[in-house]
Structure 1
Amino acid sequence: MELRYSAKTEALRARAADFMAEYVYPNEQALFHTAHTQAERWTPLELLGEIKQKAKVAKLWNLFLPESEHGAGLTNVEYAPLAEIMGRSPFGPEAFNCSAPDTGNMEVLTRYGTAEHKERWLNPLLAGEIRSAFAMTEPRVASSDATNIETEIKRNGDHYVVNGHKWWASGAPDQRCHILIVMGKSDPGNPNPHKQQSMILVLFPHPGVILKCALPVFGSDDVPRGHAEMIFENVRVPAANILLGEGRGFEIAQGRLGPGRIHHCMRSIGVAERALERMIHRLESRTAFGKSVAEQSVWRERIAESRIMIDQARLLTLKAAHMMDTVGNKEARAEIAMIKVVAPNVACKIVDWTIQAFGGGGVADTWLFTSYAHQRTLRLADGPDEVHRDQLARLEQRRHHHTDPARTGGYASVMIADGLAAPRFPL
């Protein structure tokens, strides 16, 4: 096993890190300030647009997309350290046109879209000219089980009619959002619950698509992207906008969410790494009870534990990425489930400790509270922790159905051989 990045990856890491240091970190506070103070809440940030143009010129653009001539042709293992660098700032991924939900939507259009879909929507997304949203989750049902989805996609001549209620459609409030990927049921009576769903492309804005409100995230509206609650009332969409055909929605969702989950985890590691750096610098700059706070035993324990957790999470993420590259997403589903639980929890814990290290300043630090909110939200997004743990447990139980306990020692420590008395110990 060789645990090092390729020369190609190392070169891109250096370029991405330099770009972040030159253009993203120095402008971060200005971007935060503009986002939270501009009167028109969903207007794109002009400064971020300028940074994006620089990234495009530097050829640090669409790095996430391996299957398109527009991408960098990177594997998941090669992309992982780059996503980690981008994830260190909430503005980093968009600066490189590598932010959710556009990344997942571009992958969907690349893999499952027609030539017309690609020309009309994929190319503008790849160019960073428009944004998109993914409408899957619903308020009235437990959407962690996608078979619960109630939105109706019903054929009517050469159109489909969409009716439903969605929320957490990330990116929909953004003024640049011009295309929605909507998941709903086209065949609710199908005996196979995973063949009932379809995905369809809906132009936005569109008659009958009502953006009810932008949902708060821990009291913030998460501008300029935001997350929308949306109503679909008799929305007529050309039949050509269906993706892959009726009944393929669940299949597309699994293809979309696998890479999306690992990209989130890569970025979470970047958040955790930056939080640890900031924690150490803060602790070394403060004195309490006659010595540096960094010398206090509780903080040394937390620093050490943070390093252990980050490296564990990174190695597990790289393993999942390697399996996705070599044996495919389906065979890597256990590893994807593991990192989806591990990475946001690790980042959340380390950001929490960093807030504690900053004292009162920690709750007023924009990067810290934004990072904490995002990482805590990730424990729900793309499937809550509980669903991933349940899937992992079922896969593990299935794996052990094929092992022989007598051969592996599964019973040896608890069973007494025939004819031998159990040992007795004096009271």
Structure 2
Amino acid sequence: MTEVRTKAQLAKSAAAVTNRLTTEQKNHALAVMADALQKEQAAIIDANSADINHGRSKGTSESLLDRLTLTENRIAGIAEGLRQIITLPDPVGLLLESFDRPNGIQVKKISVPLGVIGMIYEARPNVTVDAAGLCLKTGNTVVLRGGSAALETNRKIVEVLRSALQSTDMPADALQLVEDANRSSVDEMLKLNGLLDVVIPRGGASLIRNVVDNATVPVIETGAGICHTFIDESADFAMASDIAFNAKVQRPSVCNAMETLLVHEAFAANHLRELADRFLKAVVQLRGCPRTMEIVAEAQAASDADYATEYNDYILNIRVVRDLDEALSHIAQFGTMHSECIVTENEAHAARFQQEVDAAAVYHNASTRFTDGFEFGFGAEIGISTQKLHARGPMGLPALTSTKYLIHGNGQIRG
């Protein structure tokens, strides 16, 4: 039997235990896990260093290495994410609806775990902990399959977490890591109907597309982040500059970072040169439309392929647009329904932008970098869903539950 099937079966067996644990039992498990991460941080950082050194020897970009790197501060933040999950309400076992039928049957609708969740993701080892915490808090079990770039880090993290669970009521087998780095292990997970109840991909566009196109197990799609900031004519320059700079530069390797800046032509005439200088000083490579290149000589020409690319790097497209309509049209063509922002003092324009833009998160005068489970108060997130069924946006605890109907009668039969 393959590693993937073996571990999925172990997770399936453990689900019979996890779905009946109390909130207190689950919270205790999370607390022990958080403490273990910080207690074993030196061993985790050693394993992470091996992955970093291997990636650097293969020529991995610094932005991707940043996604991979763990420090004491980052581990502390990851552990704090688990502790914040503890403080959140347990979404399992809630009475969502109750009604009586004319024949005397009573119907109740309650929230229940999804079951066994398959998580396929790439180079961010914090996802290993976030996914484990969210799944276990909701009474689910999880089969993780991370990217090869973080294999040693993920092995050590899961070893630490499973060891910690030995002293709790949460079965260690509720948390599984597929260590086979071959693509065949992903392909196998996508077909494990009957063992996996849902698969959630988290990573680049090619990974997500492979999962969506080839899975027979149900999929919750998390999308690539080609995010835009539109600076309207009435925008305050200082605010617009800070929001756009933060959206691109604060951490360009993540999915909620801005990839394209849209600038109203009137604002561009007065301020684009100064705004571009700020990006250039931060060593951001600029690509732009013809009008942008007239104002910013350092900008290279941007093509439709550029506008359709999630860089995850210090590269930014800039396009000067005539008005709100042209900005909306550009986003409709190139956006990935992730996160979009308008910076404006015109309330009517802001309202129209938020109504018409089809995305999971639509901002007015705030950076797209806030599209994040921790920032939304969810403790952590298992992904940012860009689809419209079941869940959308940062997926916290409620997104990892389903429903069940409980029907009570006193002998009714259907005629």
Check whether TM > 0.5.
no
TM-score, reference length from structure 2: 0.24
Greater helix share, structure number: 1
TM-score, reference length from structure 1: 0.24
Greater strand share, structure number: 2
Question: RCO higher in 1 or 2 (8 Å CA, sep ≥ 6)?
Answer: 2
